[in-house]
Amino acid sequence: MGYGKKIYEEARGQLELSRRKAEELAASQTEAFYQKCPEARKVKEEMGANAARAAKAVLHGGNVRAEIEKLRDRGLALQAEYESLLARHGYTPGDLQPRYACPLCQDTGVVDGRMCACLKQLQRAMAYESLSMNAPLEKSTFESFSLDYYRDDPRALHQMQNVLEACQRYAANFRSDSPSLLFKGATGLGKTHLSLAIAGKVLEKGYGVLYGSAQTFAVALERERFDRPDPDTPTDANSQLMSCDLLILDDLGTEFPSQYVNAALYHVVNSRLLAAKPTLISTNLNMQELENRYSDRFASRLAGFYGMLEFIGHDVRIEKRRRPRPQ
Ligand SMILES: [Zn+2]
């Protein structure tokens, strides 16, 4: 599941915090119990000593069965005594145990050597949150995509209906090896809206999505180029661009032109194709313009390997100002 290192570490940190809180709370409640019932502390200490003796006896080997059985009986008796002290003060045995958010992994994020479902869920939620902070994810859904603005133009309406359905199908059937998509068309025809609608659905399905405008990625790539201490280590932005399940590169062609960024973008697009990882690119450049601005090989990767969706019609943002949204 490719959410990137940063989200993984934040999620681990959050779980760790939750675990520590649960354990501190249990410890302070236990201490409060001991204050009321000092006898319980003594019994608990004796339980510990008894368990240590039992462990030692096992390590010694030889004929220690009788000794171990005696220690086990003693352990059970101490346990029963402790529980009766708890009951006398109105506690059940579970009351003073740490209450973990996830009983399955006890907030460690690992169960049977594998990543626990709670850690996956946490990363998903964080990815959604960080994406929502940068983009109006909740507003840009399939449901809020209006075809009303195309009503006057039957050709555009028909085309945009097809585009909308193709995007819905793509999101519904998304897998980590889904094909890549190219959204082409002038500004203001809903490319960003439908990119975000796909992002929301794909995140809901539990995949890692990285969304950003070409300008945002260009800035991140350029910054790392100057910051990175060792030119051979893969950079953070680069590894995020590579590791996410779905990369959405919005508004390609609006970033500040730079040979370095062009080369980095080609590298990302090409490597993701080779790894069969989907990328969604939107642009208002046509093929010829893409070729001129980037390179033949960049344009030919998009033309040859990306599913193309053509957005047509009038600028929706102008239409929206003219006609207030029905709602
Ligand atoms: Zn868990």
Q: What is the CATH number of the domain that holds 204?
A: 3.40.50.300
Decide: 47 and 75 in contact? Cβ < 8 Å: yes
For range 254-272, the mean pLDDT = 90
Decide: 182 and 306 in contact? Cβ < 8 Å: yes
| Span from the CA of 277 to the centroid of ligand 1 (angstroms) | 28
Q: Does 143 fall in a domain?
A: yes
Q: Helix, strand or coil for residue 10?
A: helix
| Span from the CA of 8 to the centroid of ligand 1 (angstroms) | 14
| Span from the CA of 21 to the centroid of ligand 1 (angstroms) | 15
| Span from the CA of 95 to the centroid of ligand 1 (angstroms) | 20
- In this predicted structure, the answer to whether residue 323 has a pLDDT above a threshold of 80 is no
pLDDT at 133: 63
In the numeric block, which tokens belong to residue 72?
Answer: 């086990």
Judgement on whether residues 82 and 177 belong to the same structural domain of the protein: no
Domain boundary residue, one of 83, 115, 147: 115
Q: Does 130 fall in a domain?
A: no
For range 285-311, the mean pLDDT = 95
At 270-284, the pLDDT tens digits run 999 999 999 999 999
| Span from the CA of 96 to the centroid of ligand 1 (angstroms) | 20
Report the share of the chain in percent with pLDDT over 70: 88
Structurally, the chain folds into a number of domains equal to 2
pLDDT at 139: 81
Backbone angles phi, psi at 27, to 5 degrees: -65, -40
Judgement on whether residues 84 and 149 belong to the same structural domain of the protein: no
pLDDT at 39: 95
In the numeric block, which tokens belong to residue 131?
Answer: 């994406």
| Span from the CA of 119 to the centroid of ligand 1 (angstroms) | 6
For range 57-77, the mean pLDDT = 84
pLDDT at 324: 55
| pLDDT tier for residue 313 given thresholds of 50, 70 and 90 | confident
Judgement on whether residues 147 and 267 belong to the same structural domain of the protein: yes
> Which range, of 138-147, 192-201, 218-227, 293-302, averages the lowest pLDDT?
218-227
CA distance 191 to 283: 8
Judgement on whether residues 77 and 167 belong to the same structural domain of the protein: no
Judgement on whether residues 36 and 154 belong to the same structural domain of the protein: no
For range 116-125, the mean pLDDT = 85
pLDDT at 231: 47
pLDDT at 1: 46
pLDDT at 152: 84
Judgement on whether residues 187 and 69 belong to the same structural domain of the protein: no
Q: Does 32 fall in a domain?
A: yes
Judgement on whether residues 168 and 31 belong to the same structural domain of the protein: no
Q: Does 126 fall in a domain?
A: no
- In this predicted structure, the answer to whether residue 63 has a pLDDT above a threshold of 90 is no
The whole domain housing 314 covers 135-322
Domain boundary residue, one of 82, 115, 148: 115
Q: Helix, strand or coil for residue 278?
A: coil
Judgement on whether residues 296 and 239 belong to the same structural domain of the protein: yes
Decide: 151 and 161 in contact? Cβ < 8 Å: no
pLDDT at 230: 52
| Span from the CA of 102 to the centroid of ligand 1 (angstroms) | 5
Q: Does 129 fall in a domain?
A: no
Q: Does 124 fall in a domain?
A: no
- In this predicted structure, the answer to whether residue 325 has a pLDDT above a threshold of 60 is no
Q: Does 69 fall in a domain?
A: yes
Decide: 164 and 147 in contact? Cβ < 8 Å: yes
